[in-house]
Amino acid sequence: VAPLLAVRDLSKIFPIRRGIFGGTAGQVHAVDGVSFEMAAGETLGLVGESGCGKSTAGRLLLRLIEPSGGQVRFHGAEITGLDAGAILPVRRRMQMIHQDPYASLNPRMQAGEIVGEPLVIHGMGDKAARQARVAQLFERVGLRPDQQRSYAHEFSGGQRQRLGIARALALGPELIVCDEPVSALDVSIRAQILNLLMDLQDEFGFAYLFVSHDLAVVEHISHRVAVMYLGRIVELTDKTTLFEEPLHPYTEALLAAVPVPKVTGRRRTRKPLQGDVPSPINRPSGCHFHPRCAYVHAPCHTREPVLREVTPGHLVACHLHDAGPRLPLARQT
Ligand code: SF4
Ligand code: MG
């Protein structure tokens, strides 16, 4: 059976222009050879520091921006080369939930129209059927029926995100890319929205690609997690393994920065992240992480590590694991 989504060697290069007279000053490899698969109904968390390319990767999947290279297959069919007409039926099955619902909602449309608009664009049902669907969606995301006539500015942040979710659900998608969907919300509201997203997945069975810099949020919602650094996936495995027994030094360092209330002995020994993210225009040689890595050794300066499966379902790009599986880092000492 083909996976829901198969991404192969996906890349996006942005040129950097020099001043107002143009001329190319360099390139940013925002996404650099990213490969992964997703199964129907799963949540894949995509984490990393700001600027690592995780949002760009999410937008590439939906063809909101054009890739510089690589392939995206949806149910086994390549969608990378499809023209605007041919991509439309695929788009119906892939939706997006944005970080800032206010910026993504039309301020001049009533909330009911905002949620029903995808049905109009895709010619789904007659007017009565669309109204019934909108009413059902409002109820399902926890909005009142009378709020259909309100405008986006009349909603609180959490209610706006409910509106964005209802709109994303309208066409019955199979995959939803969520880009930092709770990062702009008050802490008190975050759990409500996350739990709503999880309940909706249980009910409708769609998959989420969940893009976030917030490890606690990703741990709450994900089944598997991919960690990105400077445009590349450096580790990918199931959530429990990633959080309990990371194999990549960058993952270990990210986790060291997260306060853990129930501290296990292992987590205390984690080596924290040093230094800042290097410029993506001028990435370090060899392993891009080597200037910040507590485990750097000779090959790291010159050879770029390849993402490989070191134990079933656990992929790591690090020379420490080139010769096969090793103990989780924190157990090596
Ligand atoms: Fe560190 Fe080397 Fe592994 Fe890169 S390849 S993460 S520098 S040990
Ligand atoms: Mg982002």
- Strand-pair partners of 229: 232
Largest Cα–Cα separation, the chain: 68
Residue that has been written with the tokens 């222009």 in this structure: 17
273 lines ligand 1 (CB under 6 A): no
pLDDT score, position 274: 82
Q: Assign residue 262 the CATH number of its domain.
A: 3.40.50.300
Q: Using one digit for the tens of pLDDT, what is the confidence trace for 157-204?
A: 999 999 999 999 999 999 999 999 999 899 999 999 999 999 999 999
Percentage of the chain beyond pLDDT 70 is 92
CB atoms within 10 A of CB 249: 26
115 with 97, same domain: the answer is: no
Using only C-alpha atoms, the chain has a radius of gyration, in whole angstroms, of 21
What ipTM does the predicted assembly reach?
A: 0.97
Pocket test for ligand 1, best of 290, 297, 301 (most atoms within 8 A of CB): 290
Confidence of residue 333 (pLDDT cuts 50, 70, 90): very low
* The two structure tokens encoding residue 245: 């027994």
Q: Is 329 touching ligand 1 by the criterion CB < 6 Å? A: no
217 and 327 inside one domain: yes
Which pLDDT does position 269 carry in this prediction?
A: 62
How far, rounded to the nearest angstrom, does the alpha carbon of residue 258 sit from its chain's CA centroid?
19
252 has a pLDDT exceeding 70: yes
Last residue of a domain, one of 147, 171, 195: 171
To 10 degrees, the CA torsion angle through 48, 49, 52, 56?
Answer: 80
Domain boundary among 129, 146, 171: 171
Q: What is the pLDDT of residues 197-221, one digit of tens each?
A: 999 999 999 999 999 999 999 999 9
Which one of 307, 318, 332 would you pick to mutate in the ligand 1 pocket, going by the greatest count of ligand atoms within 8 A of its CB? 318
- Residue with the two structure tokens 């001049």: 108
Phi/psi-derived region of residue 82, left when phi > 0, alpha when psi is between -120 and 50, beta in every other case: beta
Strand ranges (E), the chain: 5-17, 24-38, 43-47, 69-74, 77-78, 94-97, 175-179, 207-212, 224-229, 232-238, 308-311, 314-316
Q: Provide the 10 A C-beta neighbour count for residue 71.
A: 15
Output the residue whose Cα is nearest ligand 1's atom 3. 318
79 & 210 share domain: yes
**Residues with Cβ < 8 Å from 199, sequence gap 6 or more?**
none
Q: Tell me which residue range forms the domain holding 209.
A: 5-101+172-331
Is there a single domain that holds both residue 227 and residue 184?
yes
Which ligand places an atom closest to the C-alpha of 46? 2
Q: Are residues 85 and 184 in the same domain?
A: yes
Number of domains in the chain: 2
